Structures are given as structure tokens and as C-alpha cells.
Amino acid sequence: MELSELSKYREILEKKRDELLAATPLRQPTTEPGSKSGDWIDQSSQESDLHVHLALKQTDTKVLRAIEEAIHRMDLGTYGVCMDCEEEIKPARLEAVPWTRVCINCKEKQSKA
């Protein structure tokens, strides 16, 4: 991979990392989970909000970890190489998911398994 391409992907990754780190937290439930305030609809809504908040945070954490790993692979000189088949990852795949570890063929194989 050319240095100009690598710089472009590093910039994209660092920007996404900064966005995730700067993201404002979602609205926190006004009561503690399991507390008994409001009717059962309010309680259900509060519990649902909490589950959505936790799921989004977990997703952000996974993406952030993948971004950090991608930047590390850049430093090692292995960015853009599939970790499964060791073939070069096509630019279209890197454009779509710059923190990917695998090429589209290996990702499809993983999805089928």
C-alpha cells in the first residue's frame, strides 16, 4: 500500500476514533434499574432505554478497539492485509470499513459458518 493511501486511511481512522471518544453519552434513565417508580409502562420504557444504551456502548467499544488495532497494524506495516488468508484487502472494502481485519471473501466465509 502506498504511503498516501496509508495516510488517508490513518486520517479516517483517527477521525472516527476521536468521534467515538467525544460522543456524548445517551440520556441516562432517571431511576435506578429495578426501582419501582411510575406504572409498569414507565418501568418497561426505562428498562428498555437502559438496554439500548448498553448495547450502543458495547458496539462503540468494539469499533473503538478495532480502530486501535487497525492503527497498530499500520505501525507494524500489516494494514490492508487480510488476517485470515493474508491477501491484500481491496480498497473498496477498506473504504467501507477501514478498521476491518479481513477481506470480503473471508468475511463471507465467517458469516456462513
Interatomic CA distance for residues 92 and 94, integer angstroms: 5
Tally of domains in the chain: 1
Q: What percent of the chain has pLDDT over 70?
A: 87
Write the single-letter amino acid at 73: R
Contact 37, 43 (CB under 8 A): yes
The overall average pLDDT reported for the chain is 86
Closest by Cα among 12, 23, 34 to 91:
12
Domain of residue 76, residue span: 3-112
Task: Flag whether pLDDT at 84 surpasses 80.
Answer: yes
Contact 83, 72 (CB under 8 A): no
Which grid coordinates are listed for 63? 469499533
Q: Look up the CATH number of the domain holding residue 38.
A: 1.20.120.910
